[in-house]
């Protein structure tokens, strides 16, 4: 029996808080985020952004992240029934030359914290539209557009204001957490 394939994003789906923590470490204070923050959280730094990225490239973002609640347990169960491909962007808009280090850090984090994942199913790309799969799970709508896959938008700081009507038009189902995802993927 062929398992259905899943394209699963990493940042803000499996991991959270890393960039905010690095920004706070750099600034020495908590970063207050407005309700309408864009996908690019670093834009909140204004004229300090260049100095932040000089600091950033000497850090491992994945030393600062949390694993999203219930992710590990639910993902391990999902892997029993689906072929899961961790499909993650590794190129930072503001420091594209950091891509090699970022890919290595993501790879090492996944191997350390998710030993049940197959490293041969890690896909490091900035163009998720080329990935053909049965189910797409991401926090960014642009990464859900494409083939006739079932599409799940994982709620994150930058997409929480997208209405149900907008998502319905695109055939996208909102997922607020890993237990919600389990209801769709494991309880059928």
pLDDT for res 145: 79
Is there a contact between 115 and 130 (Cβ–Cβ < 8 Å)?
Answer: no
Buried b (16+ CB within 10 A) or exposed e, 151-163: bbbbbbbbbeeee
* C-alpha 22 chain-centroid distance: 17
CATH superfamily of 4-17+66-185: HAD superfamily/HAD-like (3.40.50.1000)
Does the pLDDT value for residue 87 go beyond 90? yes
List where CATH 3.40.50.1000 sits in the chain.
Answer: 4-17+66-185
Helix residue ranges per DSSP H, 96-170: 99-113, 164-170
pLDDT tier at 188 (50, 70, 90 boundaries)? low
Span 90-110, average pLDDT: 90
Does the pLDDT value for residue 130 go beyond 80? yes
pLDDT tier at 96 (50, 70, 90 boundaries)? confident
Greatest C-alpha distance within the chain: 55
pLDDT for res 36: 55
pLDDT for res 49: 85
């Amino acid at each position: 029996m062929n398992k259905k394939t899943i394209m699963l994003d990493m940042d803000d789906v499996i991991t959270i808080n890393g960039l905010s923590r690095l920004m706070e470490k750099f600034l020495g204070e908590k970063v207050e985020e407005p309700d309408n923050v864009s996908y690019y959280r670093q834009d909140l730094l204004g004229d300090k952004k260049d100095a932040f990225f000089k600091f950033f490239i000497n850090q491992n973002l994945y030393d600062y992240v949390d694993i999203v609640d219930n992710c590990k347990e639910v993902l391990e169960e999902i892997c029993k029934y689906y072929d899961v491909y961790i499909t993650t962007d590794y190129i930072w808009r503001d420091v594209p030359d950091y891509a090699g280090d970022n890919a290595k850090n993501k790879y090492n984090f996944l191997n350390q914290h998710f030993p049940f994942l197959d490293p041969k199913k890690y896909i490091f790309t900035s163009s998720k539209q080329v990935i053909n799969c049965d189910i797409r799970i991401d926090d960014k709508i642009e990464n859900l557009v494409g083939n006739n896959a079932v599409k799940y938008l994982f709620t994150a700081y930058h997409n929480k204001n997208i209405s149900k009507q907008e998502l319905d038009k695109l055939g996208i189902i909102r997922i607020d957490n890993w237990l919600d995802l389990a209801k769709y993927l494991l309880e059928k």
